[in-house]
Amino acid sequence: MATSTASSPNSLLFHQSSSRKSSSLAIPSSLRLSKPSSLSLRRISCTAVTAPLSVSSSNASTGRVFNFAAGPAILPESVILEAQAELFNYQGSGMSIMEMSHRSKEFDYVIKKAESDLRSLLSISDDYSVLFLQGGATTQFAAVPLNLCASPDSTADFIVTGSWGDKAFKEAQKYCKPNLIWSGKAEKYTKIPSFDSLQQSPDARYLHICANETIHGVEFKDYPTPANKDTILVADMSSNFCSKPVDVSRFGVIYAGAQKNVGPSGVTIVIVRKDLIGNAQPITPVMLDYKTHADTLSLYNTPPCFAIYICGLVFADLLKKGGLAEVEKNNAKKAGLLYDTIDASGGYYVCPVEKSVRSLMNVPFTLRQSELEKTFIAEASKEGMVQLKGHRSVGGMRASIYNAMPLAGLEKLVAFMKDFQARNP
C-alpha cells in the first residue's frame, strides 16, 4: 500500500520551492508538514496531497501508479511537477494560472507559446489556424459539417473503423448528407480497408476518418487520398495526437481532445486550413464557427486556460524529448513489448485487431479464459497497474499506453502477464 504523509485529503503541505522548475521526480525531502512561520508568498509552492492510494505503488517514493486509462490519461511526471511548482504563484505574478485573466500578458504568452510549440512539433504551416476550443472532440462531430458544408444538402464520406467514427457519422447526419463508404462494424472493428477499394462520392465535401479508434485499438498507418481534389480530408486524432509525425498538409481539418496525449480534459485542439474558414452554415452557433476563434486567436470568450497551459508544458516537453519522430520510436518499442507478449502467449491472451493496423496507443486484449479477466484486472491493480478494464462495449482489457507511459510500465505489465499465465494455465 502506498504511503502518504497526508493527515486528510484536504491537507496542504507547504514547502519552500528552491527553484521554479522542479527537476526531481520524488516528493522533495524538504517537505514540511507545518506552514513555515516566515512564509513568503513569492517563493512558496504548494503540494496538495490526495487520499492514500489503495494499491501498491509502481513507484514507492512518489506513490504514483502506472495509469493505463484511456483518457483522461497519464501525463508526464515532469509536467505535473512543473505545474505543481508554479501553481501557487505563476512566474512571480502573485496568483495561479487558474486565477488569471485570459487577457493578461502572462496568459497571452502561455497560449502563444503553446501554439508555437505545437506548430514546431507538427511542422504546421501558416496556411493553417490552430484553435484551442471547448466542448470536446464530440462537439467537432457537429462543427466539422457545419463549417465545411455550406449547405445541409452537401455530401461527405465517412470511413468508420470504430465507435468514435460511428458517432461522428451519426452526428453529421443532422448537418449534411454523409455517406458511409466503409464500415468495419460487421468485423467488430478490427480492420482498416484498402484505400483502392473505396467507392468515394465524386462530390463529397470532405472525407472523415478517425485516425485511432480508442476503444477498438485500430489505427490508420497511412491516410486515404480523396478521389476528388476538392474533397477535404478530415481526421479525429484525439487518441494519437502528437504520438508520431503527421503530414498536416494532407488534411483540411485535424481535431483532437487533449486528454489522452497532450493535456487534461477541457480543451480540444483544431488545426484547420485557413481557406476553409468563413463558410459555415448560417445556423452555426457562434461558438462552433471556426471563424469566431480564428479571428480572435481562441480568445473570443474565456478559454480553458489551465488546460491550455498544461498542453503548453506537454508540447515543450515533447520538443525537449527530440520531437515526434523520437516519440514515435519510443511508442513503437513500448507497444511492441505488449503485442509480442500477447502473440507469444499461445492464445492465452488475444488481441483481435489485424496486425498491420494495431494501435500504438490503445491495446485491447482478452483472456482465453474470460472468467479470469476480473482477477487479472484486480491483481494488476494491486500491483500498481490501474485502469486496465476494457471499454464496457467490448469487455476484456485495454492498455492505453500514451506518450507519457514509461517503458517501465510496459515492462512491469508484460512481466505480470507472463506470471499470471504461469499461475493460471
Asked if 269 contacts 256 with a C-beta cutoff of 8 angstroms, the reply is yes
Cis-peptide, bond into residue 193, ω within 30° of zero: no
The reply on whether position 238 binds ligand PMP by CB under 6 A is yes
Establish whether 343 is a catalytic residue: no
Among 361, 358, 134, 174, which residue's Cα sits nearest to residue 255?
Answer: 134
| Nearest distance from C-beta of residue 167 to ligand PMP, angstroms | 7
Q: Between 201 and 362, name the residue whose CB sits nearer to ligand PMP.
A: 362
CA distance 53 to 58: 11
Q: Between 205 and 260, name the residue whose CB sits nearer to ligand PMP.
A: 260
Q: Between 238 and 341, name the residue whose CB sits nearer to ligand PMP.
A: 238
Q: Between 130 and 210, name the residue whose CB sits nearer to ligand PMP.
A: 210
List the interface residues with ligand PMP, window 157-176 (CB under 6 A): 164
CA distance 134 to 130: 13
The reply on whether position 137 binds ligand PMP by CB under 6 A is yes
| Nearest distance from C-beta of residue 239 to ligand PMP, angstroms | 4
| Nearest distance from C-beta of residue 324 to ligand PMP, angstroms | 18
| Nearest distance from C-beta of residue 215 to ligand PMP, angstroms | 7
List the interface residues with ligand PMP, window 19-38 (CB under 6 A): none
Strands 362-367 and 397-400: antiparallel
Interface size with ligand PMP, residues (CB under 6 A):
11
| Nearest distance from C-beta of residue 253 to ligand PMP, angstroms | 14
CA distance 252 to 99: 35
x/- binding map, residues 87-126, to ligand PMP, per CB under 6 A?
Answer: ----------------------------------------
Out of 28, 52, 136, 406, the only residue in the binding site for ligand PMP (CB under 6 A) is: 136
CA distance 332 to 127: 31
* Among the residue ranges 83-91, 92-100, 233-241, 387-395, the one whose residues contact ligand PMP (CB under 6 A): 233-241
The reply on whether position 71 binds ligand PMP by CB under 6 A is yes
* Among the residue ranges 82-90, 132-140, 352-360, 364-372, the one whose residues contact ligand PMP (CB under 6 A): 132-140
Q: Residue 245: phi, psi to the nearest 5?
A: -70, 145
User: Following CA atoms 256, 260, 266, 269 in sequence, which dihedral angle do they give, to the nearest 10 degrees?
Assistant: -20
Kindly report the CA angle at 316 between 104 and 106, in degrees rounded to 5? 10
Out of 214, 261, 331, 359, the only residue in the binding site for ligand PMP (CB under 6 A) is: 214
Out of 257, 304, 396, 409, the only residue in the binding site for ligand PMP (CB under 6 A) is: 257
| Nearest distance from C-beta of residue 254 to ligand PMP, angstroms | 12
* Among the residue ranges 20-28, 197-205, 232-240, 345-353, the one whose residues contact ligand PMP (CB under 6 A): 232-240
The reply on whether position 134 binds ligand PMP by CB under 6 A is no
| Nearest distance from C-beta of residue 189 to ligand PMP, angstroms | 12
Handedness of CA 113, 70, 355, 420 (dihedral sign): positive
Out of 86, 219, 236, 317, the only residue in the binding site for ligand PMP (CB under 6 A) is: 236
Letter string b/e over residues 387-419, b meaning 16 or more CB atoms within 10 A of that residue's CB = bbbbbeebebbbbbbbbbbbeebbebbbebbee
Question: For residue 40, what are the CA distances in angstroms to 35, 44, 98, 318?
Answer: 11, 6, 20, 33
Other Cβ atoms closer than 10 A to 288: 21
List the interface residues with ligand PMP, window 298-337 (CB under 6 A): none
Which residues, 6 or more positions from 274, have their beta carbon under 8 angstroms from its beta carbon?
127, 128, 129, 294
Q: Between 73 and 280, name the residue whose CB sits nearer to ligand PMP.
A: 73
Q: Between 201 and 259, name the residue whose CB sits nearer to ligand PMP.
A: 259
Asked if 200 contacts 173 with a C-beta cutoff of 8 angstroms, the reply is no
Active-site pick, 117, 157, 164, 289: 164
Please report the DSSP string for 247-298 in residue order: -GGG-SEEEEESTTTTS-TT-EEEEEEGGGTT---TT--GGG-HHHHHHTTT
Establish whether 260 is a catalytic residue: yes
Which residue's Cβ lies closest to ligand PMP?
136
Letter string b/e over residues 289-305, b meaning 16 or more CB atoms within 10 A of that residue's CB = bbbbbbeebbebeebbb
Q: Which residues pair with 13 in a beta bridge?
A: 47
CA distance 49 to 52: 9
Catalytic residue list? 164, 236, 260
What residue ranges bind ligand PMP (CB under 6 A)? Answer: 71, 136-138, 164, 210, 214, 236, 238-239, 257
